[in-house]
Amino acid sequence: MNSTIAEDIKKVIDMGDSLPSNVVIGGLKHVTVVEGKEGEFESLFKELAAEVRKQDKRCNYYDLYKSEQPRNYIVMEQYEDKEALQTHQKSEHGQRYFPKLRERIENMDVTYYVCVTPLNST
């Protein structure tokens, strides 16, 4: 049974909710875009990324990388802590863009990581 876009987005948010607090969080999303929707996906992501950089001050980076393999992308993101990730996930701009992006995604595998070597560690 296929899940809905809203269910897919909720799963990603729930994954973020389960992370520990007060540590740097990194995210890696392997994305396969629906054939013929690559340009739309890239344009929407660029718009979202601009909003993230403007509004999510505790997001260290939020970047899209395109593979040599057709339709394959990686999203790399890093947040100062779990709260910063949750702020991003529940943001107004996220609510606007996540469903639009998800409509153009065929498959997405999301993994979050806890940073073991943050730059500001002693």
The 72-79 sheet, strands edge to edge: 59-66, 72-79, 25-33, 105-114
Q: What is the 3-class SS of 19-54, one letter each residue?
A: CCCCCCEEEEEEEEECCCCHHHHHHHHHHHHHHHHH
Instruction: Read off the pTM.
Output: 0.85
Six-digit token pair at 60?
């260290």
Over range 110-121, report the average pLDDT: 82
Residues 53/61, Cβ–Cβ less than 8 Å: no
Tens of pLDDT, residue by residue over 2-27, are 567 667 667 776 776 777 788 999 99
Instruction: Specify the CATH number for the domain of residue 77.
Output: 3.30.70.100
pLDDT grade, residue 1 (50/70/90)? very low
Q: Residue 120 falls within a domain, yes or no? A: no
Q: Residue 67 falls within a domain, yes or no? A: yes
Tens of pLDDT, residue by residue over 25-50, are 999 999 999 999 999 999 999 999 99
Asked if the model's pLDDT at residue 120 lies above 70, the reply is: no
Asked if the model's pLDDT at residue 83 lies above 50, the reply is: yes
pLDDT on residue 60: 95
Full residue range of the structural domain in which residue 85 is found: 5-114
Number of domain units in the chain: 1
Q: Residue 50 falls within a domain, yes or no? A: yes
- Torsion angle of the four alpha carbons 9, 45, 116, 67, in this order, in degrees rounded to the nearest 10: 110
Identity at 104, one-letter amino acid code: R
Q: Residue 16 falls within a domain, yes or no? A: yes
Over range 68-80, report the average pLDDT: 97
